[in-house]
Amino acid sequence: MLSRKLLALSIASALVSAPAIAADNPASHQHGHAEMQLAFSDNQVEILLMSPAGNMLGFEHHPRTPEQHQTADNVTNWLEETPLVNTQESTCTVQEGTVQNELADDRDHDAHSHDDQNQHADITVTQVLNCPGLDTSASLTTPLTTRFPGLEHLDIAWAGPDGQGAIRLNHEENSFRLGR
Ligand SMILES: [Zn+2]
């Protein structure tokens, strides 16, 4: 399971290096932009998605109003339940998933205890999908670019038994070819 090891490594390195990168390299947290990595093996795909929280929530501070808490809950639930990529026949189901929302996780946080006006926050999602027919799929879809109006660009990189590739999707472009 080479791809599983690859993704595990990339997830671990992303989690370890994210704070350092965010401090040293502002481009890694770019509003309107998100990155998704896919690792294929047979009919399984492992996903790592990293996005500024503002792309999905419309704000990037701790929720202050009931509406903002509701938005954060809705987005978290959607990211937990919705396959972030799918076959054209929508055969994928979520086997495992995690959502790290730096803003929504901190429910007891007192929004007035410090000035977070200039604070940035990310949402990191991992998923393991089971997708019958994936191993013969020539193209895949993603619901992300239509679900989140704040997401202007989604960079997708993938690796699997047939090689690797990458593509940038613009807002409302929701299909990409795997080139096999
Ligand atoms: Zn930000």
Domain coverage including residue 127: 2-177
Average pLDDT over residues 155-173: 93
Q: How many CB atoms lie within 10 A of CB 56?
A: 27
Average pLDDT over residues 118-141: 93
pLDDT-derived band of residue 43, with 50, 70 and 90 as boundaries?
very high
Of the chain, the percentage scoring pLDDT greater than 90 comes to: 68
**pTM summary value:** 0.80
Lookup result for tokens 């807002």: 171
Distance 46 CA to ligand 1 centre (A): 26
pLDDT-derived band of residue 44, with 50, 70 and 90 as boundaries?
very high
Distance 105 CA to ligand 1 centre (A): 17
pLDDT at 119 over 90: no
Q: How many CB atoms lie within 10 A of CB 6?
A: 17
pLDDT at 172: 87
Lookup result for tokens 């613009």: 170
Structure-derived torsion over alpha carbons of residues 45, 15, 122, 134, reported in degrees to the nearest 10: 0
How many domains is the chain built from? 1
Distance 47 CA to ligand 1 centre (A): 22
Q: How far apart are CA 109 and CA 114, in angstroms?
A: 10
Average pLDDT over residues 48-58: 96
Distance 70 CA to ligand 1 centre (A): 20
